[in-house]
Amino acid sequence: MGAVRIAILAAAAVAAILLAFIVRGMMTPAQAPEPAAPIAEARPMAQVLVAKEDLPIGTRLSAALVSWQPWPVEALNPTFITDGQAPAAAAEGADKVAEKASQAAASALGAGPLQAIEGAIVREPIAKGEPISASKIVRGGEGGYMSVVLEPGMRAVAVPVNQETAAGGFILPGDRVDVLQSYRPPGQEREITETLLRNVRVLAIDQTTTPEKDANSIVGTVATIEAPAADAELLALGRARGEMVLALRSYADLAGPVGRGGVSAPQTVRIHRNGQVTEETVR
């Protein structure tokens, strides 16, 4: 085969390959361009003060327990505590917003709203990540722990106790008890037992207001009782008469009435013995 013929065959092969690519391109339909991703609409965000951990009742707030967190403006509650600055757009994404929030928090701690709540006491439990609400705290100068946890119309009264008069030490802060007392009324030979108060709450044993985790008992010398204002004098009178006993109530009995107990009404019983009839007054 001559060189001329080989060159002609090679040129024909190249032309055939090019023609095949051209025909294939003409037969393949053009693909539609992919739609562009929708642009997220910017949401204005405010900086809200939140709890860094669970805060039980009585916790005294400090900078170590709270932090600033971005919060959508449309979801703001009027009771939330904010940094007071103008809301920022959140079009950069959650990560960027969170990063800027932490930087803003670092510079804002110790200033403005945080100073106002420094030393405030939690009056209702606040969960981790929950905004600090003005309705759930008592600010400095508005009262201490005990005045915060007291219900309206109630008084805190201290009652001397020991292991025997406090159900063996198994009464813990938060439990409900009946306050009993045995004494001899003037002019009578027998002692009576009177229920001074029923279903009252124990606020503290000594200075312990929250038992340690998994604690089953506390042995103390003073129990602080939450008593109705009109009945607080009963506990004061009981202290003057002598020893009082705290009877622990069952969890199922917590819904009972709260207030004074008293002795049962006296009744006269006739006793027939060996043909003789005697009368005894019992309670």
Q: Which residue has the higher pLDDT, 213 or 167?
A: 167
* Global confidence as pTM: 0.54
Which residue has better confidence, 97 or 16?
16
For residues 261 and 196, what is the distance between their CA atoms, to the nearest angstrom? 5
Q: How would residue 161 be classed by pLDDT, with cut points 50, 70 and 90?
A: very high
Q: Which residue has the higher pLDDT, 107 or 263?
A: 263
Residue 217 has pLDDT above 80, yes or no: yes
Query: Among the listed ranges 21-25, 72-76, 161-165, 189-193, which one has the minimum average pLDDT value?
Result: 21-25
Distance CA 111, CA 105 (A): 10
R_g over Cα of the chain: 39
Long-range contacts of 263-267 (CB under 8 A, 24+ apart): 263/192, 263/193, 263/194, 263/195
CA separation for the pair 88, 119 (Å, rounded): 29
Cross-strand bridge partners of residue 44: 89
Place of tokens 């403006």: 73
User: What span, in angstroms and rounded, lies between the C-alpha atoms of 1 and 258?
Assistant: 121
Q: From its phi and psi, is residue 58 left (phi > 0), alpha (psi between -120 and 50) or beta?
A: left
- List domains and CATH numbers for the chain: 44-138 (3.90.1210.10), 152-267 (no CATH)
User: pLDDT tens-digit profile of 102-134?
Assistant: 444 434 344 466 777 787 888 888 999 999 988
User: pLDDT-derived band of residue 98, with 50, 70 and 90 as boundaries?
Assistant: very low
Spatial distance between the Cα atoms of 151 and 123, rounded to a whole number of angstroms: 11
| Residues 239/170, Cβ–Cβ less than 8 Å | no
Tens of pLDDT, residues 30-80: 555 666 666 656 778 889 999 999 988 778 888 889 999 999 888 888 888
Unique residue bearing structure tokens 């950069």: 92
pLDDT top residue among 105 and 226: 226
pLDDT at 27: 65
DSSP per residue over 98-126, as a string? HHHHHHHHHHHTTSTHHHHHTT-EESS-B
Burial class, 216, CB count within 10 angstroms (exposed 0-12 / middle 13-18 / buried 19+): exposed
Higher per-residue confidence, 134 vs 171: 171
pLDDT over 70 percentage in the chain: 75
Q: Residue 40: what residue type?
A: A
Contact call for residues 140 and 165 (beta carbons, < 8 A): no
Banded model confidence at residue 157, pLDDT cuts 50, 70, 90 = very high
